[in-house]
Structure formats: structure tokens, C-alpha cells
């Protein structure tokens, strides 16, 4: 049963990578809009979808009393991570912002040690570091980014990593995935709504459609990653979160005419190689 849950966790996190790559793709197509406007749409669709799912479920909107502290910290850290990541994308080189956000699985393993008392061994640490190195090759960050924007990007990765750890904790407590998604999405919408109203910029039909599609993709990603971290510990599956880089590269190649260079190919080899090795090791364990 434990092995089966690991396999399900890996499958869900790869699905999340695909959906989040789609989200990034549609956000890029939406053009030059305020960060909070993009962030609001990113979570509004997920909020509606999760509310509908819970309304139709057998238990409805029931939430375990023991889940409230973790739900709050998951929503708070996730919202901070989301806003910081979107802000960094707006202010920095897109490659630099992405690599900083890809620190989230690394932070998730560190957070798991303190929050869940889950310890990773040397092999697992090595796989994560190799995958992280591969991501560096893919996105090719420059060394000229401004310090403040860079620290905001790091804060985005930290917020996401800690949030995923609380998702895992909620899963161990038996809380339902749609409940976790709803609390995070509604919380994020409430936080970004005032800024969305004050900074609202009129959108064309194409921009609105892109943001709606980004929201739908984010909903799929959120549900998938929530399911992933409720199935298995972060240290066992977080390395597969780097699959988002592969999917993003494919979308860029197919629709944006972006051809990967040699550095990116090296990164793909490192990421896929690390993922395959980690998969084999997990099955043996």
C-alpha cells in the first residue's frame, strides 16, 4: 500500500507540473497586466471549482477542528509565495524568477524536517540537489539581478515550500484535498481583491480568456499537487516537481518557437536522470 501511495504521489505531482506549466504559458500570453490582477484570477477559478466540489460532496463543507491551524498557515504561506513569485516574474528576468521559485521543493524537504519530523537520507538529498542543478542549467539565471527582487523571488520559493509541507501535514490528518484548495484559494482572493480593485486595468477578450485559462490550469495544478502531498512525504516526491520545467520547455517549443539550447538539454538530462534514479530507489526501498 505504501509503494502504491508513492506511485500515486509521483503521478499527481507530474500532473501538477503539467498544469502549472500551462498556467505560466497562459499568464505569459495575457500580456502586461498588474501582478495582483493576475494573482486574483489565478485563484478565483480554483476557489469557485473547489466550492462547487465541496457543495456536491457527501461531507459538504465540513472541516476537522484540528485542521484549522495548518489550513491557515498553508493559506498564508501559499499566498505569500504566490504573490512573491508573480512579483518577481514582473520585475526580474523570467528565467531568474523561475529558478528561484523552483527552490520550493528544496524548502519543502527542509520544512518537513521541522514540521513533520521527516528526515531525508543522503541519496534523497543528492537527487534533489542534482535536479536543482539541472533546473539551473535550464533557466540559466544571470548574476546581475537586483538584490531586493532576488530576495522576493527566494521568499516565493520559501512560501511555496512551507505551504506544501502543511499540505502534507493536513493529508496525514485526513483532511480532504478540496477543503485545502478552497481555503487557500478563498484566502488568496480575499488578500488580492483590494489591490485588484484599486489597480484594475481593462482587459481585451484575449487577455481575459488567457487569465481564465490560467486559472483553470492553476486549479488542475492545485488539486493535483494537493493530492500528491497528501499521498506521500515531500522528501519522496518533491524532486518530480521539476517536471514543470520540461513541460514549459515543450510548450515554448511547440507554440512560441523557442528551441532549447545545449545548456537546457544538459539540464533536461540531469532532471530526468535524477527523477528516474529517485523512482528506482523509492521502489527498492
pLDDT value of residue 142: 64
* 166, 118 Cβ separation under 8 angstroms: no
Q: Which three cell numbers stand for residue 248?
A: 514549459
Please choose, from the candidates 233, 214, 222, 241, the residue with its C-alpha nearest in 3D space to the C-alpha of residue 157.
241
* 153, 98 Cβ separation under 8 angstroms: no
> Which residue, chain included where needed, has cell 490550469?
217
pLDDT value of residue 3: 64
Task: Quote the distance between the C-alpha of residue 240 and its chain's center.
Answer: 11
CA–CA gap between residue 29 and residue 252 (Å, rounded)? 11
CA–CA gap between residue 218 and residue 247 (Å, rounded)? 14
* 19, 218 Cβ separation under 8 angstroms: yes
CA–CA gap between residue 20 and residue 215 (Å, rounded)? 10
What does each of the 285 residues of the chain score in pLDDT, given as a tens digit?
566 777 888 889 899 989 988 888 888 788 888 889 998 988 888 888 888 888 888 888 888 888 899 999 999 999 999 999 888 877 765 666 666 777 777 788 778 888 888 777 788 788 778 877 877 776 667 666 667 777 788 888 889 989 989 988 888 888 887 888 889 989 999 999 999 999 889 999 999 999 989 888 988 887 888 788 777 776 677 778 778 778 877 887 787 776 767 777 787 778 777 777 876 776 676
pLDDT value of residue 227: 83
pLDDT value of residue 258: 64
Cα angle: 149, vertex 151, 153; to 5 degrees: 70
pLDDT value of residue 96: 66
Q: Where do the domains of the chain lie?
A: 2-284
CA dihedral 272, 277, 282, 284 (to 10 degrees): 150
Taking each helix axis from N to C end, the angle separating 177-198 and 35-56, rounded to the nearest 10 degrees, works out to 150
Ramachandran region of residue 31, left (φ > 0), alpha (ψ -120 to 50) or beta? Answer: left
Of the chain, the end-to-end C-alpha distance in Å amounts to 13
pLDDT value of residue 20: 85
pLDDT value of residue 61: 84
Helix spans in 2-67 (H): 2-29, 35-56
pLDDT value of residue 147: 72
* 153, 35 Cβ separation under 8 angstroms: no
CA–CA gap between residue 29 and residue 100 (Å, rounded)? 21
pLDDT value of residue 15: 92
Q: Which three cell numbers stand for residue 177?
A: 484535498
pLDDT value of residue 2: 61
Cα angle: 32, vertex 182, 205; to 5 degrees: 30
- 3-class DSSP state for residue 199? coil
CA–CA gap between residue 196 and residue 200 (Å, rounded)? 5
| pTM (2 d.p.) | 0.76
Please choose, from the candidates 224, 250, 225, the residue with its C-alpha nearest in 3D space to the C-alpha of residue 25.
250
Amino acid at each position: 500500500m505504501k509503494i502504491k501511495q508513492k506511485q500515486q504521489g509521483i503521478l499527481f505531482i507530474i500532473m501538477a507540473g503539467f498544469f502549472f506549466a500551462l498556467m505560466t504559458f497562459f499568464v505569459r500570453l495575457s500580456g502586461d497586466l498588474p501582478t495582483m490582477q493576475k494573482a486574483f484570477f489565478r485563484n478565483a477559478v480554483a476557489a469557485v471549482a473547489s466550492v462547487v466540489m465541496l457543495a456536491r460532496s457527501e461531507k459538504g463543507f465540513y472541516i476537522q477542528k484540528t485542521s484549522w491551524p495548518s489550513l491557515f498557515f498553508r493559506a498564508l504561506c501559499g499566498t505569500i509565495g504566490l504573490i512573491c513569485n508573480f512579483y518577481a516574474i514582473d520585475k526580474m528576468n523570467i528565467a531568474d524568477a523561475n529558478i528561484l521559485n523552483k527552490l520550493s521543493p528544496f524548502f519543502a524537504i527542509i520544512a518537513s524536517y521541522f514540521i513533520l519530523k521527516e528526515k531525508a537520507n543522503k541519496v534523497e538529498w543528492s537527487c534533489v540537489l542534482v535536479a536543482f542543478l539541472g533546473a539551473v542549467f535550464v533557466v540559466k539565471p544571470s548574476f546581475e539581478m537586483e538584490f531586493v527582487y532576488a530576495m522576493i523571488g527566494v521568499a516565493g520559493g520559501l512560501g511555496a515550500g512551507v505551504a506544501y509541507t502543511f499540505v502534507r501535514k493536513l493529508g496525514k490528518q485526513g483532511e480532504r484535498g478540496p477543503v485545502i484548495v478552497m481555503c487557500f484559494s478563498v484566502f488568496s482572493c480575499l488578500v488580492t481583491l483590494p489591490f485588484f480593485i484599486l489597480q484594475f486595468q481593462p482587459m481585451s477578450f484575449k487577455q481575459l480568456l488567457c487569465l481564465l485559462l490560467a486559472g483553470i490550469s492553476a486549479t488542475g495544478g492545485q488539486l493535483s499537487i494537493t493530492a500528491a502531498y497528501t499521498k506521500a512525504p515531500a522528501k519522496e516526491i518533491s524532486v518530480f516537481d521539476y517536471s514543470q520545467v520540461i513541460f514549459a520547455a515543450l510548450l515554448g517549443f511547440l507554440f512560441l518557437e523557442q528551441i532549447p539550447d545545449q545548456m537546457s538539454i544538459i539540464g533536461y538530462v540531469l532532471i530526468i536522470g535524477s527523477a528516474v534514479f529517485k523512482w528506482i530507489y523509492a521502489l527498492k526501498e
